Amino acid sequence: MEKIKVVLGKRSYPISIGSGIIQEDNIFFPLKPGNQAMLITNKTLANLFKDKVLFHLRKSGIKVDQVILSDGEQFKTLNELEVIISSLLEKRHSRDTTLIALGGGVIGDLTGFAAAIYQRGVKFIQIPTTLLSQVDASVGGKTGVNHVLGKNMIGSFWQPSSVVIDIDFLKKLPYNELISGIAEVIKYAIIFDEKFFNWLEENIENLLLLNDTLMPYCIKKCCELKAKIISLDERENNFRALLNFGHTYGHAIEAHSGYGNWLHGEAISVGMVMASRTSEMMGFLKKADYERILSLLKKTGLPIKGPKNMSAASYLPYMMRDKKVISGEIRLVLPISIGKAKIYSGIDKNIILNSIKYFQ
């Protein structure tokens, strides 16, 4: 088992990574025998993993209740949040309870947001079951729900007490979900680490086969990169915004298409392509680097073109509601080389539109 620490003073927390680690003693930190907890998952995952996790929680002496939500991005809503809150109240969970998120990014975000607002804040643990949540969504304390007009527009920063990444969960992950998670992996490489990008180019086929050596290394690498950024800029006042590379375009695709019709990683893949094209058009990114980014995404099996029924102009209203917009100016994360990115504002909207049109 590997351990990484997110350093945030008194709110620091461990990330544990390994195979079969939910069976380890004291893995559900900070829970102790006799503590109260609420396990939150969805219908699909309940059939796959719930009983096993409940068994180990109860074996550890934890008093645990459960909430089973509907499955899918379209259910990342205030309605589902209310289901969690109502269940906590009905089962008389007090301020010392701990919520446990067993699932992907949707469950993690919903559970974290519920933890942030229930009785003005309770502890929560992340047990991510998808690659996307293991390498990205479960770490960093971004929680929230979607609004019909924009993704993740209602939420809060609320850090987990611990993150337990059991790689064995990935064996049950649908292949398209695995590929979707790789989009976030590629994101880290493009914006932070050229050597990691080179490694992905060499190892992507075996990584997609869940190689026992490559996948743990990949997950640990992403968590290390994110933990460092979170420790330096927890609330996205500065360079944590770099983690949104591809997301301004990608969130527009998700909101326009209807949440759940495009997997998050699929939309972010297209968003990274559009952002890279924007950077190349502005003379920041070399054509050779741009083509390497395109090539790796295609090699992974990720899409590089947006929805056919979505015009370039229809991206802009969603992009203008993006959380990075300041004083009416779209701010975009653009790669300037592989391994380095910057945030730019005041970009000519015609350049943005042309970068979108190029991939329709």
Per-residue model confidence as pLDDT tens digits over 126-163? 999 999 999 999 999 999 999 988 889 999 999 999 99
pLDDT band at residue 327 under the 50/70/90 scheme: low
Instruction: Report the chain's mean pLDDT, rounded to a whole number.
Output: 96
| Cα-Cα-Cα-Cα dihedral sign, residues 205, 209, 210, 214 | negative
Same domain, 22 and 168: yes
Q: pLDDT by residue (tens digit) across 92-104?
A: 999 999 999 999 9
171-228 pLDDT, tens digit per residue, is 999 999 999 999 999 999 999 999 999 999 999 999 999 999 999 999 999 999 999 9
% of residues, the chain, pLDDT over 90: 92
- Characterize the bridge pairing of strands 36-42 and 98-103: parallel
The values of phi and psi at residue 244, to 5°, are -90, 15
Is 183 domain-assigned? no
Total domain count, the chain: 2
Burial of 282 (0-12, 13-18, 19+ CB in 10 A): middle
Q: Are residues 158 and 215 in the same domain?
A: no
Give percent of the chain above pLDDT 70: 100
Sequence-separated (6 or more) residues with CB below 8 Å from residue 185: 131, 135, 200, 218, 222
Same domain, 226 and 139: no
- Tens of pLDDT, residues 68-77: 999 999 999 9
295-310 mean pLDDT: 96
Task: List CB contacts of 337: < 8 A, sequence separation 6 or more.
Answer: 194, 285, 286, 289
Range of the domain at 38: 2-172
User: Considering the domain boundaries, does residue 185 fall inside one?
Assistant: no
Residue 186 within any structural domain of the chain: no
> Which of 36, 45, 210, 187 lies closest to 127, judged by CA?
45
Q: How far is CA 21 from CA 114, 161, 213, 246, in A?
A: 26, 17, 16, 33
| Residues involved in catalysis | 120, 142, 184, 226, 236, 240, 244, 247, 251, 264
Query: Is 20 found in the same domain as 158?
Result: yes
Spatial CA neighbour of 108 closest among 147, 153, 158: 158
CATH number of residue 245's parent domain: 1.20.1090.10
Same domain assignment for residues 15 and 156: yes
Q: In the block, which residue shows the tokens 């975009």? A: 332
pTM (global) more than 0.85: yes
Which tokens go with 299? Answer: 């090699």
Residues making up the chain, counted from first to last: 360
Is-contact 180 266, C-beta < 8 A?
yes
Predicted local confidence at residue 324, as pLDDT: 75
Residue 184 lies in a domain: no
d(CA 355, CA 103): 34
Give which of 316, 303, 317 is closest to 270, Cα–Cα. Answer: 303
What pLDDT, in 10s, does the model give residues 29-59? 999 999 999 999 999 999 999 999 999 999 9
What are the tens digits of pLDDT across the range 215-245?
Answer: 999 999 999 999 999 999 999 988 899 999 9
Q: Are 61 and 163 within one domain?
A: yes
Q: What is the CATH number of the domain that holds 87?
A: 3.40.50.1970
Q: Which residue has the tokens 């090539």?
A: 295
Residues 305 and 157 in one domain: no
Mean pLDDT of 95-118: 98
Residues 21 and 166 in one domain: yes
Q: Work out the average pLDDT over 244-261.
A: 93
Contact between 293 and 335 (Cβ < 8 Å): yes
Residue 266 belongs to a domain: yes
